[in-house]
Amino acid sequence: MQLTSVVAAALLARHAAAQNMLRFACSQLVVDRVDPIVNPGMQYTPHLHQIVGGNSFNITMDPDNHDLTASTCTSCSFKEDKSNYWTAVMFFQHKNGSYKRVPQVGNGGPQGQLVNKGGLDVYYIPSGKVTAFKKGFRMIAGSAANTDPKKVSASNICHRCWKSTDDNQFTGGAPCTGSDTVDIPADTSCKMIRQTLIFPTCWDGKNLDSPDHQSHVAYSSGSGATGGGNCPATHPVKLPQIMYEVMWNISTFLDKSTWAAKPFVYSMNIGGAAAHGDYVFGWEGDTLQKAMDNRCNLNNDCTAAGIHKQQPDVYNACTKKQQAPETVDGWLQALPMGEMARRA
């Protein structure tokens, strides 16, 4: 790691505002068994997701003609951001075989509270001159089928044990450093688990997507949440670094006598090795490019880019009905995979 990256990482840990970046909350649009990137057109996809962002999100999202900016609202803080962001959801597994979805909260961290109802926090971290995503761009970080933690770089996708139930209590150093793990911690001293997903920052400059939704992008030589280092010759275009933070509040599941062998799993019924995030770009016009060029910061209004922050009651109110209707909350007989979910 170069000295500048070390410094940037340390600054990010202690005082993220020192390196300008967008950082904002997104509340839950819907929790639904759909995935327009991997299974376009399919209802009741193999596993459940939580989705945030623009409400034009639907099961097809044809890259050639779906206009995300036609959304009438977004569950994310910036009014001009109609992108969609999604991840698997975490479940607690009781030793009696039933499952319950783990609630999510905002992540205040060192910069004050980011209020959201479920959902996740999104970062766009520039490093040097970056090229914003183009209309139709989409990508995936991580792999929903991977069961081997050794195949995941802990500097990109990781979990942190949070010993407080207070989302404003910052814990530890830069994301995906120190004792952060690929596996989901199973430890009764953890009150919350923070999941971090860092996306590739290098693009081939041509393809808005690829058959595996990954090979048109690549990780840079840098690691962690520093905006990324040099890009390989195959993928020379530097993108803004996207990072998701998801806070899973496990504090009601800490009675170890109720735990199954694997108490916390993602909705594929696999642990942290299968953590993944999906992204479809949908900022209006060139607002994201301008926000990066002008080093717009955190979730503040930024007139140079024409982006406006909404109040939490506004973006929290942006929701969507499930397109694959089923019960996803409360005690379930099994994970919602295959058949429709049933209550325990």
Q: Name the site residues for ligand NAG (rule: CB under 6 A).
A: 58-60, 66-67, 94, 96-98, 105, 165, 167, 249, 251-252, 331, 344
Q: Which of 149, 157, 201 is nearest to 176 (CA)?
A: 157
The nearer residue to ligand NAG, 62 or 286, going by C-beta atoms, is 62
Is the CB of 123 or the CB of 248 nearer to ligand NAG?
Answer: 248
Tokens of 340: 């429709």
Q: Measured from the CB of residue 227, what is the shortest distance to ligand NAG in angstroms?
A: 28
- Cβ 224 to ligand NAG shortest distance, Å: 25
C-alpha torsion sign, points 36, 38, 40, 46: negative
Shortest Å, Cβ 167 to ligand NAG: 4
Residue 13 beta carbon to ligand NAG: minimum distance, rounded to whole angstroms: 21
- Token readout for 51 is 């989705």
Shorter beta-carbon distance to ligand NAG: residue 219 or 283: 283
Shortest distance, position 98 Cβ to ligand NAG, whole Å: 4
- In the three-class reduction of DSSP (H, G, I as helix; E, B as strand; rest coil), residue 291 is classed as helix
Residue 232: which H helix or E strand, with range?
Answer: none
Question: In the chain, what is the greatest distance between 2 CA atoms, to the nearest angstrom?
Answer: 56
Q: Which is nearer to ligand NAG, 199 or 264 (CB)?
A: 264
The DSSP secondary structure of 233-263, one letter per residue, reads TTS-EEPPEEEEEEEEE-TT---GGGEEEEE
Return the number of the residue (215 or 251) whose C-beta is nearest ligand NAG.
251
Q: How far is the CB of 250 from ligand NAG (least distance, A)?
A: 8
The helix/strand/coil state of 4 is helix
- Of 105 and 198, the one with the shorter C-beta distance to ligand NAG is 105
C-alpha–C-alpha distance, residues 188 and 263, integer Å: 11
Order the strands of the 90-94 sheet from edge to edge.
99-101, 90-94, 259-266
For ligand NAG, give the closer residue by CB, 77 or 143.
77
Q: Is 290 helix (H, G, I), strand (E, B) or coil?
A: helix
Q: Residue 229: which of 122, 125, 134, 132 has the closest Cα?
A: 125
Q: How far is the CB of 234 from ligand NAG (least distance, A)?
A: 32
